[in-house]
Amino acid sequence: MTKQMVISIIVIIIGVGGLVWWSKSVDNKKLNIRGSEKYHLARNISTLTAPETFYDFGTISMKNGNVSKVFKVTNLTSQDIKILSITTSCMCTTAYIIKEDGSKSRPYGMPGHGGAVPKANAIVGVDESLDIEVVFDPKAHGPAGIGLIERTVFLEDENGNTVELKFRANVTP
């Protein structure tokens, strides 16, 4: 056996050993990532609850204008929860906090449309509820906006937990 063959065999053995070590390292990182994802997902299960998180408007006509739905979000925990942001999945949808006196907050919409979305900073006290009015404008997308649509409003609290309020409609001209 020549000196070059011995060196080649040693390089191959070291290379294979290195690959085995590297693959185990990658597997461990995957396990750690999976574990942290499980923790992250479990942590992000919202502490706010909503008895109704989906609404179907059915068939609506563009010519009849906006439609709206009020969703109730409740804090069943032992401490106040601060909702930091309320955003929508599309510019055709706006959300409002309905105040105790029946008035509405400023509109919350889709990030990037019409400037920055203002912070909600709404406090939901222990065993209290907050009404969120969701307004859909079927004319927002023009004639191309007919057919089945599905939209979502996201409420995110100070701990990164999110409640999703969803609706759909079949839009006709």
The answer on 92 and 132 residing in a single domain is: yes
- Host domain of residue 4: 1-43
- Quick one: pLDDT band at residue 40, thresholds 50, 70, 90? very low
The answer on 38 and 82 residing in a single domain is: no
Mean pLDDT check: name the lowest of 38-52, 53-67, 136-150: 38-52
The answer on 147 and 62 residing in a single domain is: yes
Q: Which among 43, 59, 74 is the end of a domain?
A: 43
The answer on 108 and 74 residing in a single domain is: yes
Cα 45 to chain centroid distance, Å, stands at: 11
SS3 content of the chain, % helix, strand, coil (to 5): 30, 40, 30
Phi-psi domain of 147 (left: phi exceeds 0; alpha: psi -120 through 50; beta: other): left
- Quick one: pLDDT band at residue 107, thresholds 50, 70, 90? very high
Q: Which residue has the higher pLDDT, 89 or 117?
A: 89
The answer on 142 and 94 residing in a single domain is: yes
- Quick one: pLDDT band at residue 33, thresholds 50, 70, 90? very low
- Quick one: pLDDT band at residue 32, thresholds 50, 70, 90? very low
> How would DSSP label each residue in 105-143?
---B--TTSSSPPPP--EEE-TT-EEEEEEEE-TTTTGG
The β-bridge partners of 67 are: 136
The answer on 31 and 111 residing in a single domain is: no
The answer on 56 and 35 residing in a single domain is: no
pLDDT of residue 34 exceeding 50, the answer is no
CATH number of the domain bearing residue 82: 2.60.40.10
The answer on 52 and 116 residing in a single domain is: yes
**pLDDT, tens only, 80-103:** 999 999 999 999 999 999 998 999
DSSP state of 146: -
- β-sheet with 162-172: strand ranges across: 54-61, 162-172, 147-157, 81-88, 122-124
Residue type, 165: L
